[in-house]
Structure 1
C-alpha cells in the first residue's frame, strides 16, 4: 500500500525598508521542494502586518482579504515546477514593517479540490538588519551589592530592618481569624503555583519559622505591617488582602535572601509598613486576538498578585473572536470562537488552515473569578461594542439593518463591524448578554469598549440615517451618507468626535450605560465613550489610551480615569525601535526603564488628580502567537507598572528596581 505524501513546500519572507529612490518591499518566496509540479493553488497568510487595500504587488494578485488575512493568487494557468520558487513582492502595506513579528506568522496553501497544506513559517527576515532575534523575558542579573538589603517589588512605604540571620527553611503560618486563615491558604496556593519546589510554606516539623497573622483595626484596605523578631514574624492588617500582601512581601524577602544570600539579607528585627499610593493597579489582556487557556489565565493572575496588581481587565470579544459562553446565544462561541479555512472567520494573526481558537465556559469563568478573588484581584470583563463586533455579527447576522448597503471599514480592515445603535434587536441581544455577564462577575463593573468606531459607521443603514436626520438635521445625515464605501482610516483610528458616527454612538452609549446602572453596575469604557458627553460620570470610568494630556482633559471634565497611554503602558509595543525586538510600534516603544520612570499624571492639576482611579498596562495580543514573545514584551515591564502604581513617586529608584526585578516570576519562562 502506498501513501500519498503532500508536496514539500516552504515559505520564506523578507522585508526591505524604503530608502531614497527605492520603495519598501515585503517579499514572499513559496518554494516547491518536491519532485512534482503543483498547480491550481492559492497562498494564504496572516500576521500582524496587513496588505493595504490599494495593494501594489508583483508576481500575483490578491484574492480574498480580511484584515490581516490575505489570499494570494498566482497568474492564470500558473504551475510551480519542482525545485522552483514563486515570488511575490508587495510594496503597499497598511504600515511599514518595523519588527520581526510584523510579517506572516501563519501560512498555508489551499488547493482547488478543497484540501489545504500548512506551511512552516519562519520569522520574516530583514534585509537591512541581521541581528539575532530576541525572544523570552529579559532577566536582569542581581548585582553583588544591591542598593537595598531586602528584595521587594513594589517597594514599600517604609522599611526599617536591621541585622542578618540565617535564612529560615520556610514559614509555618498560624492564624485564628477566618480572614487570616483565608489569606494563609491563598498564599500557600500562590507559592505552590509560582515556586513549587522552594518550600516557602512548610510546617514546624520541617523547620518552618513561625509567622503569626493578626487582624487589627487601623489599616486601610490593602495596607499591612510586618514585624521581624528573632523567634517569629508577625503580620498585621485589617483585611484578608492586606494580610496576603504582607505574606507576599515576606515571601519576596525570603526568596531574595534564600537565592542570593550574599546580596540580600533576612532581617533579625525591625518592621515594614506599607500601603499602595493608587487604588487601581491593573492589567488588561486581549484574549480575542490570541486565545489563552484557563491554566494560563490563572497563572497570570498569580503573577499579578505577586506584583500586588489588583485589577484584571479581561478583553473577551473583538472582531477576531468571541470568547465567553452565553447560554442565550450559543452561536457566539460555536461560530465566533473559532478561526480556520472555510469558516465564518478566516485564519487571522498566525492561525492556520486548521480550526483553532477556544472560549471560556461559565464554569471556567467562575473558577477564574474565584481564584482572582482569593488573590485580591477584581476582574472587569469587556465586551467591546458598538465597534469591534465582526465576530459577534458572524454569529448573529440579524443584528445588521437588513436594508444596509455598501461597506465601511475599521482601522484593522474589518467591514461593517459595528452594532447598529438604532435597532431594537441590538439592545435585545446586548442586554441579554450583559445580564449573563453580570451574574458571572461580582465586581459589578462591566467595560463596554466604545473605541475605534469608523468615521463611516452605519453610513449605508437607512434606519441609522433616518435617526441621524432626526437628531442632527439633513446636512449631517447627507454628509454621513457620503462616507459609504470610503476607506477613511487605513493608517490610524478615525477621530469621530462631532461626526454622524459619534452622534449615533452616543445614542448607544447612553442607553447601554443606563441599563448597566439599573443593574447596579459601573460602566467602563475607552476614552471614546466620552463622545457626546452622555454617560453618567458618577457611575462610569474611562481608560485613557491616547496620551496623558487626553486623560487629563477628560479628568478635568469630571470623568474618573484609569491612565494607560499606548506610547508607554501598551505592553505589545516593542522594547526598542530595533528590528530584532518583537512587538508593535504604532504607538511608539518603551523599554522597561522608560515605563518605570514615566509620570502618568505629569501636568495634571490637583483638581484633575481627584478623578484619577489609577493606572493599568494593556496587553494587545496581535504579535503574541509565540508565547516567548509574550514573556519578552510583558516582563519585567508589568513589575515596573506595578511599582509605579504602588510606590510613592519620591521612593522610586530604577537602580533599586533593576537589582530586584530579576527575582520576579514570569508566565512561561521560554528561552
Structure 2
C-alpha cells in the first residue's frame, strides 16, 4: 500500500512540475516562483491601474496590450480589477532597485518594484507569461489566461550588456531599436555601442565635420579573412546627433543605458583619414577597407591630438546621459610608436618605461579629464598594461604607471588572473572573455550551451571582491557580418543565454529548463521576423 501511495505521490509531483514548467517559461529564470490555482483572464476590457509615478510604465504596458487587442486599454488612477502598477520603495532592501514582485490572482494582477526599473521588468515577466503570439494576434475578442502565480525576482549582476559594432558594418536606427526591444524583453540593461574604429566613424561631431564626411565612408570592403577579394562597392553611414538622441530616448523608455565606445589611441584609422595630422605615420589618408590591426594610431605625444580627443568627448558627454564612456584602448600596435621620434621624446620626457607605459599615461590623462567632467572611463583590459598579445615583446610592456583606480576594466583577453589583480587594485570589472562571449564566433566554436555556462566571476576569486565584478557583456563584432540576417543568426538565441547568465542566480540556472523556455522565445522571434539560429546547442 505504501508503495502505491509513493508512486501516486510521485506521479502528482511530476504532473505539478510539468504544469509549472508549461505555465512559467520565463527567460531569464526568476529568483522564486509560487504557482497557484486558476488564472486571470486578460481581454480588451482589462484596465491598467496606475498613479502619477508609474505613468511611463503604464503607457508602455498599454502599447503592449494595444498590439494584441487592437484597442488601447483604459488607464485609471483607481480600481478594483485590472493590472495594478505600483512603486514600493520598501522592496529595495529585499529586491534591490531592479527587482520586482509579480502577483497574479483571479481578479487582478499586481506588479511592484522599488523603482520604475523594477516595475518595468515585472511587465516583461507578464509579457513572457502570455502566449508567444499574444502581441501579434490583433484580436479584440480574444480572452487570454495568465496563470495565478507569485514571482519575486532580482538580478545577480547590475551590468548585463549587449554590444553592437557598427563601425565595421553600419546597420541603422531601426535595427538598433529592434535589438533594444529584445534586450528589454530579456531584462538586459546596457547597450554598448561601438561607434568608431578603423573602418568607420559613425557619430556626428559638430566641431569636426570631416569625421563623418570622410571617416564614415570607405571605398570597398574586404570579403573574408586574409583574402584579397573585395565586395566591389562602397560602404558607409553615420548617426546625426539628433538621431542618437532619439535612440537614447527610445532605450531610456526601456530602462537601457547606452554606453558609447570612442576608440583611442588605436583603431583610429577612420579618424586619421579624416584629419591626417592626428596620426603618427603621416601616410594614412583613407578609411581602411581591410580588417585587422592597423599600424597607425593617434599621436598621443601631440598636444593638439589630446585637444581633439577632449573636444570629441565633450560632445559625447553632452549627448549621452550616462556618466560612463568606453575608450577601447585595445590592440595598439607599438611598432609605429617605437619608430616615432615624437613618441620616443614623450616617453623620455615623462620618464616612462615603454610604449605600454605611455599608453597608461595617456589613458590616465583621459580618465582625469572625464572625472573632471563628472564621467568615468571604461576600456578593454589592455589599458592595464599587461601583455596579452603574442606580437608584443616584453620590452614594449614594461610599466611603471598605475592606471587610475576609477577606470572600469572590460576584460576580454588573457589569463583571468588579470581580473583578480584588477579588482585587488580597486577596479570594477565587466567580464567579456572572448572565448565565452563573442557573438561573431560560429556555433561550433561557441555553442549555446557554452554561452549559458559562462560565469562572470572567475574561479578562485576571493569572495570579498565579488561585488567588483559588475557583470558581463556579449559582443557582436561585425567585420564579417555585413547583413542584418547574418547578425541575427549570430545573436539569437545566444543573447538569451547571456541574459540568464547576467540575471539568474547560479543556484537557479538549469540548462534543460532554459532550452524549454527558449521554445517560447523562438516562436516570438519568428513572428517578429528575427532570423535566429535553428541548430544552436
Q: TM-score range by the shorter chain?
A: 0.7 to 0.9
* Cα separation, partners in 2 of 1:233 and 1:515, compared to 1, 3 Å: same
SS across alignment from 1:198: helix
Q: How many residues align?
A: 470
- Within the alignment, does 1:244 sit opposite 2:120 as a pair? yes
Q: Is the 8 A contact 1:167 1:257 kept in 2?
A: no
- Within the alignment, does 1:648 sit opposite 2:505 as a pair? yes
SS across alignment from 1:517: helix
* Cα separation, partners in 2 of 1:254 and 1:402, compared to 1, 3 Å: closer
State the distance in 1 between where 2:37 and 2:133 align: 13
Question: Where do residues 64-143 of structure 1 align in structure 2 (5 Å cutoff)?
Answer: none
State the distance in 2 between where 1:317 and 1:325 align: 11
Offset at residue 323 of structure 1 (A) = 0.2
Report the equivalent of 2:446.
590
Q: Is the 8 A contact 1:171 1:211 kept in 2?
A: no
Report the equivalent of 1:535.
403
Report the equivalent of 1:93.
none
- Within the alignment, does 1:545 sit opposite 2:415 as a pair? no
Offset at residue 252 of structure 1 (A) = 0.6
Q: Is the 8 A contact 1:572 1:619 kept in 2?
A: yes
Q: 161, 168, 171: which is aligned to 2:35?
A: 161
Report the equivalent of 2:389.
none
State the distance in 1 between where 2:427 and 2:306 align: 25
Q: Is the 8 A contact 2:199 2:291 kept in 1?
A: no
Q: Aligned-residue CA RMSD in angstroms?
A: 2.8
Q: 394, 414, 419: which is aligned to 2:273?
A: 394
* Cα separation, partners in 2 of 1:267 and 1:197, compared to 1, 3 Å: closer
Q: 343, 352, 357: which is aligned to 1:503?
A: 357
CA offsets per residue over residues 54-91 of structure 1, 9 Å max, x none?
xxxxxxxxxxxxxxxxxxxxxxxxxxxxxxxxxxxxxx
SS across alignment from 2:89: coil
State the distance in 2 between where 1:371 and 1:455 align: 40
Segments of 4+ moved more than 6 angstroms: 143-146, 402-405
* Cα separation, partners in 2 of 1:320 and 1:403, compared to 1, 3 Å: closer
Report the equivalent of 1:149.
23
Q: Is the 8 A contact 2:166 2:193 kept in 1?
A: yes
* Cα separation, partners in 2 of 1:283 and 1:368, compared to 1, 3 Å: same
* Cα separation, partners in 2 of 1:393 and 1:198, compared to 1, 3 Å: same
Offset at residue 403 of structure 1 (A) = 7.5
SS across alignment from 2:170: coil
CA offsets per residue over residues 419-470 of structure 1, 9 Å max, x none?
1111011111101100000000011111111111113142222111112233
- Within the alignment, does 1:288 sit opposite 2:167 as a pair? yes
CA offsets per residue over residues 165-215 of structure 1, 9 Å max, x none?
3753368452443331101223444x48xxx8534985379xxx8211112
State the distance in 2 between where 1:638 and 1:170 align: 33
Report the equivalent of 1:555.
423
* Cα separation, partners in 2 of 1:655 and 1:421, compared to 1, 3 Å: same
Q: 161, 172, 179: which is aligned to 1:300?
A: 179
- Within the alignment, does 1:356 sit opposite 2:356 as a pair? no
Q: Please list every run of 5 or more consecutive structure 1 residues that lacks an aligned counterpart in the other structure.
A: 1-142, 260-264, 341-345, 477-499, 577-588
- Within the alignment, does 1:619 sit opposite 2:473 as a pair? no
Report the equivalent of 2:105.
229
SS across alignment from 2:193: strand
CA offsets per residue over residues 497-520 of structure 1, 9 Å max, x none?
xxx220221221011111011000
State the distance in 2 between where 1:239 and 1:598 align: 29
Report the equivalent of 2:83.
211
* Cα separation, partners in 2 of 1:149 and 1:339, compared to 1, 3 Å: same
Report the equivalent of 1:332.
211
State the distance in 1 between where 2:265 and 2:156 align: 34
State the distance in 2 between where 1:403 and 1:318 align: 18
Q: Is the 8 A contact 1:290 1:621 kept in 2?
A: yes
CA offsets per residue over residues 362-419 of structure 1, 9 Å max, x none?
01000000111111111110001000001110001111358899xxx9x955543211
Q: 496, 507, 515: which is aligned to 1:658?
A: 515
- Hey, which of these two has a bigger chunk of strand by percent? 1
Offset at residue 245 of structure 1 (A) = 0.8
Q: Is the 8 A contact 2:83 2:111 kept in 1?
A: yes
Offset at residue 149 of structure 1 (A) = 2.9
Q: Is the 8 A contact 1:281 1:646 kept in 2?
A: yes
Q: Is the 8 A contact 1:319 1:417 kept in 2?
A: no
Q: 379, 402, 411: which is aligned to 1:525?
A: 379
Range 300-309 or range 162-171, more displaced? 162-171
* Cα separation, partners in 2 of 1:329 and 1:520, compared to 1, 3 Å: same
State the distance in 1 between where 2:407 and 2:83 align: 41
Offset at residue 325 of structure 1 (A) = 0.3
Offset at residue 349 of structure 1 (A) = 4.8
Q: 297, 302, 305: which is aligned to 1:426?
A: 305
- Hey, which of these two has a bigger chunk of helix by percent? 2
Q: Is the 8 A contact 1:449 1:526 kept in 2?
A: yes
Question: Where do residues 446-485 of structure 1 align in structure 2 (5 Å cutoff)?
Answer: 446-471=325-350
Offset at residue 146 of structure 1 (A) = 7.8
Q: Is the 8 A contact 2:50 2:58 kept in 1?
A: no
* Cα separation, partners in 2 of 1:389 and 1:187, compared to 1, 3 Å: farther
State the distance in 2 between where 1:472 and 1:668 align: 58
State the distance in 1 between where 2:200 and 2:82 align: 49
TM-score (norm 1): 0.66
